[in-house]
Amino acid sequence: MAVLVPFAALRPIPSSAARVAAVPYDVVTTEEARALAVVEPLSFLHVSRAEVDLPAGTRPYSDEVYAKAVTNLAALKRDAPLLEDESPALYVYRLAIAGHAQTGIAGGFSIDEYESNLIRRHEHTRRDKEDDRTRHIVTLRAQTGPVFLVHRRDAGVDAVVARITATPPLYDFVASDGVRHTVWQTAETDSEALQRTFAALAALYIADGHHRAASAARARREVGGSDHFLAVAFPDDEVRILPYNRVVLDFGAHDASSFARVLHSQFGAVEGPPVPGRRGVVSVFVKDRWYQLTLDAGPGADGQLDVSLLNDRILSPLLGIGDVTRDKRIDFVGGARGTDALERMVRGGDAAVAFSMHPVSMRDIMQVSDAGGIMPPKSTWFEPKLRDGLLSLPI
């Protein structure tokens, strides 16, 4: 079963929702967050990335940052303003852009189910990032950004969602990146119906927000409070996964010419488009050209994810990249930035070679999660993203 509970949300009034809503704290650098926050005094980045209001060079995990987040949240409550609902409710949250739409249920989800793996994960978390968000939750006494969950499509959930989305929304705006965010607040009877339908689901899956979920669980152990974490759960066949591409800063023991020759001799690389057309194929930008090569040929390749094949066949043996989570010679570029960003990095000298990947599927993620496995690092990029600041869960 999946426990789903209404909560009394801390949220902006409708007229200020578009100004408060901010990109997730962990998809922008400090410099990018500062540039976004400086032009919008109501942006929730002033709370989720409070270092933007401190002198350049301030450590993001310093005491001053968390203290500033408390001050900024108090100011936002006053200026936006933010209000706390008098009665608990669930919310329906739709993301839409360029012909794509996905509609999920926002509410409180069980930390007990997370810790017992009924809410399944596919990534390891880093202790330093857990420490940061745990302290953020404990200091603010609120979970200020939702976890992105996925469930298998369910007709009962669909029927209730269709009824709710036929009514006027609470929020409806288009963000600067072109994503339309529409949120409905549910009536008590619809909340109860959603709770019943979710109770029949066998499992939930974390798509994005592993550190948020882990931090909510740690915050409960440290200070008590809510037995639930804030999340939005979407049907599995609606979510969109983009590739998580790679760039390597140098060729290691090779130069551009010798590396290109190896790609030709070992993998039959040929000039091709920048976006691979199927699983098992990767596009490589080197020497000002795109090449395509096949990774899934040969013994032991069946069933392996492309990112694992890339690590095993190219990054480690040819470029000397060991642990991709620690090696400073490799960087990762979310698919939303497109292959043009990869070309610019190579042409501008910021990288020596770029790899454009085919995205994994939600089926891949569910299979790995159901087996208790872990996806390779930086395997998935879910797009569009939920916005921080629209719904927060006080603890």
Instruction: Locate the domains of the chain by residue range.
Output: 4-241+381-394, 244-358
Q: What are phi and psi of 334, to 5 degrees?
A: -60, 145
For the chain, how many residues are written?
395
CA contacts within 13 A on the Cβ side of 212: 26
pLDDT tens digits for the chain (395 residues)? 799 999 999 999 999 999 999 999 999 999 999 999 999 999 999 999 999 999 999 999 999 999 999 999 999 999 999 999 999 999 999 999 999 999 999 999 999 999 999 999 999 898 999 999 999 999 999 999 999 999 999 999 999 999 999 999 999 999 999 999 999 999 999 999 999 999 999 999 999 999 999 999 999 999 998 899 999 999 999 999 999 999 999 999 999 999 999 999 999 999 999 999 999 999 999 989 999 999 986 555 556 899 999 999 999 999 999 888 889 999 999 998 999 999 999 999 999 999 999 999 999 999 999 999 999 888 999 999 999 999 999 99
- Interatomic CA distance for residues 11 and 145, integer angstroms: 11
Q: How far is CA 248 from CA 230, 280, 298, 350, in A?
A: 36, 20, 25, 9
Give the tokens for residue 178. Answer: 């072109």
Q: pLDDT of 107-118, one tens digit each?
A: 999 999 999 999
Q: Which amino acid type is present at position 5?
A: V
- Interatomic CA distance for residues 210 and 250, integer angstroms: 31
Q: Which amino acid type is present at position 337?
A: R
Residue 98 · residue 180 · CB < 8 Å = no
Angle at 198 between CA 197 and CA 200, to 5 degrees: 70
The β-bridge partners of 10 are 84, 392
